[in-house]
Each structure stands twice: as C-alpha cells, then as structure tokens.
A and B are shown apart, each in its own frame.
Chain A
C-alpha cells in the first residue's frame, strides 16, 4: 500500500511538473540548453555589449510585458535632465504580498562611467525572470523574496559617457553644472576631443627633458623613467586645451561631483570628502533613491554595483564608524563575503575604509547605518581576469593590459598615437586607452562576470531573514487557562535587525501576535528549561521582539482563556516578512 501511495504522489508531482513545463521553451528541455542559461529567452538580449538609456528603458518594459506575473516597472523619480529612474519589482506575485516579503535592493551605475554595473543589474533581472520556471532555486527565491532592481541611478551621465567624448574616468558624476574652481564661472574649461573620435586620450610631446619613453614591446604604452635613464617624451595630461586662457587645462569640466558622496550618513563637505555637494540629497537622483528605500522598509539586503578592482565591499566608509558594526553583524557579512571570494576568483572581501579608502556620505553607509540594511558594493572587473592571475607589479609598472590588448583584443583597446597640432602645446601626439578599456569589461568577459556577481548577490539575497514558525505548543494550566508557546526561527544568517538598528530603533521591532484567542498575558521566553520569562504587560497578544538573530530563534508564550485551537500566530517583521501558522491541539 505504501508503495502505491508513493507512486501516486510521484505521479501527481510529475504531472504538476509537466503542467509547468508548458511555460518552458523546448530548447531548455533538450541539449541546446547550456547549463545555467536560458536557451530561448522571451526577452532576447546580448550580454557582450553595453546598453544606452533607450535600450535600458525598452528592456525594462519588455521584461515586464513578457513576465506580467513576475516583473513590474515603475519610475522612482526623474534625473536632473528629466529621465525616469526605472525600478523593476521582481517577485512571484501569486505567492504572498510584495510588501510582506523580505526585499533585496540592487542598483547600478551611480558612477556612470562604470558601465557594467548597469549590465549586471539588468542581467540579474533578466535571469530571475527567465529562470523562474526552469530553476527551482530561483522559483523558491521569487516566492520568498522581492527584488527591487534599479539598473541605472545616474541615467544622464550614462548617456553622456556613451555618446560624448570621455576617458575611462569621466563622467563619474551627474550632469548638473557647478563651478569647480571657485572662479565664478561654470564649466568654462571642459575636456576637448581634439581628434573627434569620442575618446579622450592622453597628450604627449617629444622633449629633450622628458621623463618618459615609449615601451619597445607595446608602443601603446608609455614608460615613466626612474634613475638616470634619459627619456624623450613629456606627458601633457588628458586631451584638452586651455579654453579660457587661465593657464590651466581642463580645470572646470562637466560634473566634477560625486553622486556617491551625496548620502545621508556621516556626510562631510567637499574639503573633507571630495565630490560632496551642498548637503546629502542635493541631487534629485540620490533623493529619489533615498525616498524609495525609506518607503520600502522590507529591504533587508542591498547591493550597489561599481567598478573597478574586484571587491566585495562592506561598510563602514569611515574609521570612526567601525564600532557601529557589532561582531555578530560582521559574522553575517563574513559568511557572504568569504563565499564570494570562492565564487569569483580574483575578487576580495574588503572593508571599505580599511582596505580601499575613506568615503564620507557614501551610499552603502546610508543603506547599512541610516537604514540598517545589510549591504555590499561590488567593484566589478579586475586585472586578475586578464590572465587569471594576480599582477606581479602595480598598475603603472605592468604591461598586462597592453599584452592582453595585443593578443586577445587585437589592438582594439587603444587609440594609436598620432600627431596633432595643439594651439597651446604645438606639435604633440595623442593616443592611449579608449574610454571603454581598463575599467569596463571587454565584451566576451562581460556575461561571465555578470553571472558570477549575480550569483554572489543572489546568495546575499538568499541570506536575508527567513522566519519560520517551527513549533507551537499548547499546555493546559489551571482552570481554563492554556499556555501557547511559539518558537520562531530565522533560518538565514542575516538578522531581522542589526545590532546598530536595535540600539537606535531604526526599524520597528518584530511583532509576534496571537490572533483569534482571548489572551490574558504575554511574555518572551528567555529560558524555557529554567522558567525565565519576561512579561509584556502592554498589548500582551502582540509580543515585541527587537531582533531575531541570524540562525537564531525566539520563543514567546501567551496565556489564553479558553481553547486557543484555531487561533493564528502571526510573525510580522519589517525586514523578515510576514508568516502565519494556526494553533492546533
């Protein structure tokens, strides 16, 4: 008999899978499917290239159209130049309510020259939607969680980077003009694309006193000389002219502020923190994101993609805030960060202020300290990826980018040096790395790194709290009083509230409520075996629990008059979601 039951269950399960299969493209069921990737996605994308704003917009709308039960798109506000900042909300809308699920926030391209963060964000949205039917893990994840993905939060500047002359470091900021040098004039000395090729490269000039020479192995490269070797070139900086005749070249360009210094935690002015503006939130883009985050208290984890260097960065941005991260919270970060180092060879798990540099008023501090959200920021791309090894020398002493360019990119990475007649410098030559080389991935590497980083972030999202009511016990006491004891476990490593959150009451406490019973007393169970309880006299039906630790549990007990059978235990946590379970005895 047992055997039959099992086969019956298998049959039911199998047909259920078959029914689901209608949603799966045939290519994903035969040998055309490369493991881990949708073989015939509803939204066709190439992940070996970069996308402009119109294409991002189209992608968001296409994905929402293709997966109406999973994806919706909304604008969280407008950029300085009036572009909508898109947010994709991705969750299985048929399972649970969006606001009652733990949420994971992802954004990309706050520094717009760092193109690939936007692509990784889009890839993640695409992968989640396209894999919902084929990969049970993703299916489960979208039932449990909601993803808020903002592919680009600096859309103006991205358009500028893609369509206007730039080097790999410009434009890091948005497009609001400011007077950078305090002379009362605004943007009066921009970079100049002397040869009109869309890339701002370097200027060099033959010189008897020069301290540079051409690398004989890779003519694209200039070598800075040390010791007593004589050189024959001097370097004159980025392509440009002294537009306003003040003796300085390119000293007041577009957007020399940093949107990632415009956030409301330990904000400092520009003289302390280069790139800061008037106050955190001077920019419409960061203000819109802040409003979005504050209005979505279910966000429990966050990722903000940057480049470059191959890092999983966590806060704090400044040494003085080190003490705000408790050992327990750091332990949760460690679980994720250390696994990341395994998942993405060449990437390192770092603490921002300690291992990179100090950042005041940065986005990740706003997320993790002002809002209590467990946050990583990945610095995408590292030179490790070129030859799958760590460079033996520092960036300016090694030639690996030139070597890689020669043998794998066939010279596509550099603008060849060519002569130019400069109005101020006379006969010069211009050449050097193209704007999309060095910091941004070459095409063929983009999808792989997008996938690896997404996988890291999905693991991070998976580890946001999952609350489970693991036991409800009833025990008859004297008279018609029954004790109901509920045990709630957080089966993931991230707590519902960080230690800092609990201390400052950033988010409301978790509420564990017995509904539908006549509760006459309520208490937290400190130690059941030793009979230690703390009574909560105020609203005893709804026990307030400041946090439920990662992999930790809490027990609460109610004394109920009458039979509690059929009553409901509800766990309601801003970041841990809402779960319920019925009492039965």
Chain B
C-alpha cells in the first residue's frame, strides 16, 4: 500500500513535470535566444508587442541576408491551443538540421502570435482562455470582469458544476458516466442536472461567470468574415496589436509564398472544395479554381508524402488568421491542429454501427469529449479529468452541487511527449512543401540580328515547380508582388518593340510564356524575370 502511494506520488510528480515541459513565455524567449546564438542561419526579432506588452517573436531561418521565396509558419494564435506553439518551436530545431532547406528559401516562424495567452495556460488557477491581455467587457454591460470564475474545489482548474435541479437539462451519459449529455425527450430522457461553469454568481445577476474579462481571441479579430460583437472578437476588427503586427509583417514581406498555421482549423487533411459560386462573387468567399488545384497537391504532400493521416474535420472559424491570409493577403494558407486524438481508439463499436446505419444528415458523431476520455484512459493519462465531487455553493444553498469535468486545455494540449512524432512528420511536410514551390527557369535568350544594329531578343520563361508562382487570389488583391519580366537597356540602346516591364498573372505549375523585344543598339542588355514568391532570375546578353 505504501509503495503504491509512493508510486502514485512519483507518477503525479512526473506527470506534472511533463505538463510543465510546455514553454512559459520566459522559457520560450530563452529557448529562441539559445537557438539563435547556436546557429548562424537563425535570426530572432520581435515583430511587435502584444496587448500585455510581450514581444511577438519571429524566427528567421535563412542561409543569407538576401530575401528569398519564403514560407511563414505561425502558431499560438488562439490562446487555448498551446500545443501549436510547442510544435512550432520543436519544428525550428528539426528544420535546422537540414541546411539545404533554407539555402534558397527563407523560413519564417512565429511560434506564439498571442504570447499573453501563455500566462493563462500557466496560471495558478487555469481557465481555458483564448484571449490576450486586453481588458474586455465580455457581457457588454459596461463593467469589466465583474463576474469571473472561482475554483470552488481548490484544485487549480476551472471545470464545471452540475446541480440537481428541476430546470436541469442534462443527464449522465450512457457511454461514459463521467460525462453529461443533453437530455433528449424523444429518447425518453428527462433532464436532471443543470450544467454551469465552475464559479459563483459574483454580482448576483442570475448569470454565472459571464464576465471574467477573458481578453480578445486574436484568432477572431482578423479581417476575413469578422464576427462583429461576438464574445472574444474585440471591440472592432483588427483592434488588437497582435493582429496588426502579424498583418503588417505579412503584407510588407512580399516574398512570403504561403502560410502554414498550427491552429484549430484543418484544411490540409482535406483540401478546400471548389465552389464556383463562392469563388466568383464580388467578395470572394471560396478558393479560386487554380488555387484549389495547388491545395490538392499540398494536401497530398501532407497525407501521403508526410503520411499524416486521419486529421479531424475542423472547419475554418470567423475572423481567423488562416482565412485572412488567403482571402485578404492573397497567400496560400494552410492550417492544421498538428496533433489530434488518434482515430483508432474512438471508432464506435463495430456491431453497433452495423445495426444502426445512420440516416443521411443525422450521423451520430462520437462527441470530442468522449473521444478524448477514451483515448486518455487508454494512454493512462492522469490529471485530465476531475471526478465529480460535492461542494457547498452559496448560490444553491439547499441543492446538491458537484464540481468536475475535463481539465482545461487538456483536450487540445497533450503531454509534450505526444508531440514529438507530430513534429517529425510535419518537418517532412514542410520539407516537401518547400521542394514543391515554384521554380523559374528560362531558355538562353535567343538573339537574332534583324539588321545592322537592330536585334530581336526572345526568351521563354517557365515555372518548373509543382506549384504556381503564387496563389491566384494574389492577382486579385493589391499588395502582392506580381509576375514581372523586365528588360534593362544600356546607354545608346532603344526599344523598338516590346514592353520594358511586363506584368502578368501567376505562372501555374509547368506553365511558360515567351517574351520578345526589338532593340536598336548593340551592347549588353539585362533581362529580369520572376516575382518575390518564386525568385527572380537575371540574364545578361550581349547584342552584337
């Protein structure tokens, strides 16, 4: 018995330690500085300050100082997803091992776009908060933070309360007695429990924990499909310094080819689908046809080349960065949670599904909570669920109130050890994505002497990469570096025919175009062709 207890204590110490392997903001900063000091190809700088005055770190992996076609990796945007930050940081170390990757490309990594949120993750009493440090009036009543959560059972976590009550709408789940589900009268179920978040009604207005001043969720404050007036979305769109810092960086770095976000949405396991209606309205709300082709290609790299299977279907959310990066900034934008609960443990009992084939549209999904608990049981994870225990509650003096439920952050942020294989696979994905990026190639310029001093110069430019020179949405939006072919003449030369500067739309994979000029006057000419996202090729030819 004593041994068992010691073991348990030891185990819990170990587990606590494991959770602490997530980086605090200070440790994140320390770690990034350490990486920078050890690698000459790494540069660390701040792209701005968070609302709580913390630096938002940008790590640049580049073998040289000249700007090259780049990928931007972002994480830690919605504060409750700290696993993303963890993955991004470890990914830096992984990618650094292959020098080839950042010799002709640049890799930018912003591991924590919303660093304020890290403090909530490490708070003494943890509430699953998404927001930054901006004081918010969550219930829009003119008072800030007047009814926060309380840790009634003193376990350091804000979980849930269930109260046996006549106005209860929930019952214990038949699949897992730890969980509550909504009672469904059509299944002969009658509600027993009222389900609330843990805390007291501080201002006695009948609402529980409705204003803890939870801050602005950065991933709801971006410009595309902004959810105005929604809780956590901010007073207005792009009100938050983190949002502006990230967008300023994105818009003023024209070499960024695409963005990979470790966040809550997933458009990598399955590429976006083409919808001609959404893609052709005045305000584009669906991926363009060309870009869908590229997205399918990238999705294949993700699921086949990198072998990342069974990703969850987590749709895009309103006002998030991933969609804003595509629809507004005109960049390819991919997003993945990185880690998720492996599928095999959560498949419904096979006999059951055979008997009751779900009708179209009412497919019964296993709830994420149930999935999570099953997986946690299998992995024997501790500290993920608080057993329901009775507490005395001032607002329900004569009722049975129990506190319990899934521990905050647990479902999205597994112990660090689970992220290691994730990092390795995603490193393969990033490598293959970098390899698929556009390659500008040209024929040697053909010079024909039309007459004495008159020359015809012809050159064919092709994109021999597997992906277009940039997303076609980039040709719609304004602040992208467009595909440009320029002829520079020297003194004494004049152009008789042809464009000095020719701009065109993105060159798709394996697409080419031919340029031709008539130049009067001998001597050297320079041809520049390409764009910031694909690189610019320079050709020098002697006309003689």
Contacts and interface: CB of A to CB of B under 8 A. Distances in A.
B500 A247 contact: yes
Interface footprint category on B = 35 or more
Given A264-B238, A272-B283, A539 B205 contact: yes
Interface string B190-224: 00000000000001111000000000000000110
A292 B427 CA distance: 46
B347 interface: no
Nearest to A287: B244
Contacts of A278: 247-248, 251, 329, 479
A281 B226 CA distance: 15
Nearest to B489: A245
B407 interface: no
Nearest to A294: B235
A290 interface: yes
A504 interface: yes
Contacts of A537: 206
Interface string B457-482: 00000000000000000001111111
A267 B228 CA distance: 11
Contacts, number: 106
Contacts of B263: none
A270 interface: yes
B140 interface: yes
A508 interface: yes
A278 B222 CA distance: 11
A505 B140 CA distance: 6
B480 to A, nearest CB: 6
A370 interface: yes
Contact of A574 (B142, B282, B283): B142
Contact of A281 (B141, B203, B204, B238): B238
A370 B228 contact: yes
Nearest to B229: A504
B499 interface: yes
Contact of B503 (A181, A505, A509, A538): A181
A519 B532 CA distance: 70
A264 B140 contact: no
Contacts of B204: 538-539
B410 interface: no
B481 A247 contact: no
A278 B330 CA distance: 11
Nearest to A245: B500
A126 interface: no
Given A278-B251, A279-B243, A505 B481 contact: no
A182 interface: yes
Contacts of A182: 478-482, 503
Interface string A143-171: 00000000000000000000000000000
Contact of B481 (A184, A279, A281): A184
B496 to A, nearest CB: 13
Nearest to B143: A508
A538 B229 contact: no
B244 A271 contact: no
Interface residues of A, number: 39
Nearest to A370: B236
Nearest to B222: A279
A233 B87 CA distance: 68
Interface string A261-272: 000110111111
A183 interface: yes
A315 interface: no
Contact of B236 (A179, A180, A264, A269): A264
A271 B139 CA distance: 36
Nearest to B282: A272
Nearest to B502: A246
B232 interface: no
B523 to A, nearest CB: 17
Interface in A172-209: 178-184
A506 interface: yes
A294 B239 CA distance: 11
Contacts of A279: 222-223, 237-238, 243-244, 247, 328
A184 B140 CA distance: 45
Of A183, A246, A269, most B-chain CB atoms within 10 Å? A269
A270 B477 contact: yes
Q: Do most interface residues of chain A lie in helix, strand or loop, or is the interface mixed?
A: loop
B139 to A, nearest CB: 8
A509 B141 CA distance: 7
A366 interface: yes
Contacts of A247: 499-501
Contacts of A282: 248
Interface string B475-496: 0111111101000000000000
A506 B137 CA distance: 11
Contacts of A504: 140, 228-229
Contact of A184 (B205, B282, B484): B484
A433 interface: no
A366 to B, nearest CB: 7
B482 A508 contact: no
B520 to A, nearest CB: 15
Of A267, A278, A504, A505, most B-chain CB atoms within 10 Å? A278
Contacts of A509: 141-142
Interface in A246-280: 246-247, 264-265, 267-272, 276, 278-280
Contact of B477 (A269, A508, A539): A269
A268 B236 CA distance: 14
Interface string A224-257: 0000000000000000000011110000000000
B244 A281 contact: yes
A245 B486 CA distance: 11
Of B143, B229, B236, B251, most A-chain CB atoms within 10 Å? B236
Contacts of A508: 140-143
Contacts of B328: 269, 279
B283 to A, nearest CB: 5
Given A182-B482, A279-B238, A504-B229, A271 B499 contact: no
A538 B140 contact: no
B254 interface: yes
B228 to A, nearest CB: 7
Contact of A538 (B139, B205, B226, B244): B205
A246 B500 contact: yes
A265 B142 contact: no
A318 to B, nearest CB: 10
Contacts of B243: 279
B478 A271 contact: yes
Contacts of B482: 182-183
Contacts of B237: 264-265, 267, 279-280
Contacts of A538: 203-206
A282 B205 CA distance: 40
A366 B236 contact: yes
Nearest to A264: B236
A264 B283 contact: no
A278 B244 CA distance: 9
Of A271, A272, A506, most B-chain CB atoms within 10 Å? A271
Nearest to A182: B482
A75 to B, nearest CB: 21
A558 B325 CA distance: 54
A396 B315 CA distance: 52
B148 to A, nearest CB: 17
Contacts of B229: 504-506
A246 B499 contact: yes
> 4 tightest A-B contacts by CB?
A508-B142, A264-B236, A505-B140, A270-B478
Interface of A: 178-184, 244-247, 264-265, 267-272, 276, 278-282, 290, 294, 366, 370, 504-509, 537-539, 574
26 contacts: A179-B479, A182-B480, A182-B503, A184-B484, A184-B532, A247-B500, A247-B501, A265-B236, A269-B223, A269-B328, A271-B478, A278-B479, A279-B243, A280-B223, A280-B238, A281-B239, A281-B244, A290-B236, A294-B235, A370-B235, A370-B236, A504-B140, A504-B228, A505-B139, A506-B140, A539-B205
